[in-house]
Structure 1
Amino acid sequence: MPSPAIDDYLKTIYHHTEWQTAPITPSQLAGELGLAPSTVTEMVQKLAAQGLVSHRPYGPVVLTAAGEQRAAAIIRRHRLIETWLVQEFGYQWDEVHDEAEVLEHAISDRLLAGIDERLGHPPFDPHGDAIPDADGAVRREPFVLLADAAPGHRGRVLRVSDRDPALLRALEESGIDVGHPLTVVSPAEVHVHDRPVPLPPGAATAIWLTA
């Protein structure tokens, strides 16, 4: 049965391994969701009983095939809605996350299909996150986190984390957006079109580049 609480857990677990490979631990899951560890432990046990995650005591939480399919479906809804709000309603990329959190549980499958068709079946949302297709499949290029990129690395911005709206606004003001090429000078500075651009705090761990 549809459950926003279950969907939020599955989304968080899914999202954790999109841009790195280490599975999420229960304590990390509690931190991401802002919940008490005991609450998370109880829900993880319920998710495991429903066949949506696999988990051993003191071990990480991993989506099963059924859990990944359900997570991809709700992620698809969220990111299509974000893209729709930007393209059709003039929202900025720092404004769409909270709106999508509400709408993803409210719109019908028919409306979602209409939005997807209207937008031309976009593969990525405004932050560069892949939009799963109707079967849950995604397409991603090889990537590197800016903080891990060597000085002199040239790459196109693939993704910017949407966690911090203020950081998104600061990056946009600096001319850094998804799809823009840049050259890494250090974790604190890049060149955009040969123009030196100092990075705001937190940017190096929020930007992914083509590898």
Structure 2
Amino acid sequence: MANHSYMKDRLGFDPDELLLNEVDDLFYNGPDDDDYESPSHKKFKAYKPSPSSSTSSMLTYESALKDVKDERDAIQKKTFTKWVNNHLKKTGGLVTDLFVDLRDGHNLLTLLELLSNEKLPRERGKMRWHALQNIETALNFLKHKNVKLVNIRPVDILDGNPKLSLGLIWTIILHFQLLNIQRIILKTYILVTPRETPTPSSSSQLVFNRPFSTVFSIVDRISAETVRF
């Protein structure tokens, strides 16, 4: 049978010493016992983990990420509000808070009327049900125009959901400005290449075959005509 020295040398601890420590723990009465502290309790205090640097770094990263997201959302809100007002001013409309001023559905319907040159029905009442109907009319109109709305419900806009309100306006921008942007790009390309006649098979690749300077000038023109920062 192996002796204690052999076991301690091979295992790194004396089995009998470990057993005695466990017995000592039975007589430890907790933090109120000022006269006694078991070996295993001393060992526990000695190896009590402290906050790791990786955890601290992760918290710092998450905080920085949240700040960036909040700043991005604020910029989007400001930009989209200016874009909406650029159209609503034609009828004397004004949006001061995008998340609040879309809730009754009237500004949303007016915006769609201006963009589509179509007249849309609306409820004139001021109850929650009337606002919900107006928003639903707007969303149904977009669906009729084959605009894909992902997880955007009338109640989300009515409740002023920031993420979905921004998503709705961005979807509207993409849909109603896309054809206009394509026309501007094609027209600009034709102007800078008067001798070239685009074919149907290559027309979709026109912009990508031109120098980047031409594309940038087109983007600048689009920005000036669509989103006024």
TM-score, scaled to structure 2? 0.29
Please identify the structure whose Cα radius of gyration is greater: 2
Say which structure is richer in strand.
1
